[in-house]
Amino acid sequence: MKVTKEDLQNVAVLSRLAIPADQEDKYIDQMDKILTYMDNLSELDTENVKPTTYALPMQNVFRKDEVKASLDREAALANAPLKEDGYFKVPKVLED
Amino acid sequence: MRLYEKPAHVLHDMLVNKEITSVELTEDVLARIDEVEGDVKAYLTITRDEALAQAKAVDEKIAKGEKISFLEGIPGAIKDNICTKGVKTTCASKILENFVPPYDATVMTKLKAENPVILGKLNMDEFAMGGSTENSAYHPTCNPWNTECVPGGSSGGSAASVAAGTAIWSLGSDTGGSIRQPASFCGVVGLKPTYGRVSRYGLVAYGSSLDQIGPVTRDVTDCANILNIIAGHDDMDSTSSAAEVPDFTKALVEDVKGLKIGLPKEYFVKGMVVGAVKG
């Protein structure tokens, strides 16, 4: 087993997921199968294969630092469930 | 043969020759939606009134003797992970249930310059993560050839709508097969352009170094013509290629004799389905 109960509980906390205790074994098994499957990749001999990051030659893209037309504030905030004084408002996540 | 069964290039010629109007064509496709959409369920949003208004505007242009571009007045639809200004873009997720983009994706800006008729937004696997369009938070889409079967995915709505005649053309997006696989399942033409060919600005990301928007059409002529419209460098996507965009319709030659198809040798590995790559 690559995945321990502690791993699962840690991932659950990070993902804000509540996993019922009676389902822990099921998810540990599923995560383990996924990670074990990824081991298949190590069967490939990549000794002489040049790494490919992109199919096209890529380089940094620069532009002049100029002010351009952009969304006005009202349009940018139109989808916000909560807003105040022209800002997005989100629930507090940090303690004082 | 009804109008919805024809490819865009044939309908374009019929519009130019005044054999049909865009309103007649749009009404025929909307009628087709009324007939089969309940079974196929390719759409998440249908913009019926806007579509008819767009069609009417094109007909007025034609009546005045003005020239029309390839897609002008031809009804198509858009995968729901491509931002459409003022029209809900949900990615088939309840998380974005109420998201109305305040801007258009670059492909939409390019398309709208051509005055097509936009019928609405198409179903997909939620956030494009899936290969069957069963993983939509709203409803699964069915394969129009056999509604017991899946249409593939994640651009299942894009492929099913074109196959069912509820759109003449559509746009999908492909990260690891999400245009090509559903196009194959539904018997239509789908193309994943080379990475960087089409701007990703306004496409809700799945895998940013792999995502591309591409056309789903009834034949390769339509596919080449729509790629001509959406391809090209975009300042808003720094990974879009500066390479010159050729006229893709020049590749529409009479035969494909002598054409070589390359397959990476890494595909020929243990576990590969017999016959899947070795024909």
Range name among A34-43, A82-91, B84-93, B112-121 with the lowest pLDDT average: A34-43
C-alpha span between A3 and A59 (Å, rounded): 39
**Ranges of each domain in chain B:** 3-253
Could you tell me the two tokens for B60? 């007025």
Instruction: Give the model's confidence band at B91: pLDDT under 50 very low, under 70 low, under 90 confident, else very high.
Output: very high
Confidence (pLDDT) at B100: 97
Compute the C-alpha angle B152/B6/B215, nearest 5°. 45
C-alpha span between B269 and B264 (Å, rounded): 11
Instruction: Give the model's confidence band at B276: pLDDT under 50 very low, under 70 low, under 90 confident, else very high.
Output: low
Q: Which of B154, B155, B161, B173 is catalytic?
A: B154
Mutating which of A56, A60, A61, A82 best tests the B interface, going by the most B Cβ atoms within 10 A? A56
Closest residue in chain B to residue A53, using alpha carbons only: B209
Q: Which of chain B's residues have a Cβ under 8 Å away from the Cβ of A44?
A: 266, 269
C-alpha span between A63 and A92 (Å, rounded): 36
What CATH number labels B3-253? 3.90.1300.10
Confidence (pLDDT) at A95: 82
Helical ranges in A1-96 per DSSP H: 5-14, 24-38, 73-77
pLDDT, tens only, B192-205: 999 999 999 999 99
Whether residue B266 and residue A43 make contact (CB cut-off 8 A), yes or no, is: no
Q: What percent of chain B has pLDDT over 90?
A: 89
Active site residue B178: yes
C-alpha span between B1 and B5 (Å, rounded): 7
Closest residue in chain B to residue A57, using alpha carbons only: B241
Give the single-character DSSP code of A34: H
Active site residue B250: no
Report helix, strand or coil for B167.
Answer: coil
Compute the C-alpha angle B256/B257/B260, nearest 5°. 80
pLDDT, tens only, B31-64: 999 999 999 999 999 999 999 999 999 999 999 9
Closest CA to B129 of B169, B91, B159, B160: B91
Distances in Å between the alpha carbon of B244 and those of A52, B79, B111, B113, B209?
23, 27, 19, 20, 20
ipTM of the complex: 0.70
Compute the C-alpha angle B153/B220/B228, nearest 5°. 95
Active site residue B184: no
Whether residue A61 and residue B100 make contact (CB cut-off 8 A), yes or no, is: no
Return the H-helix or E-strand segment holding A40.
none
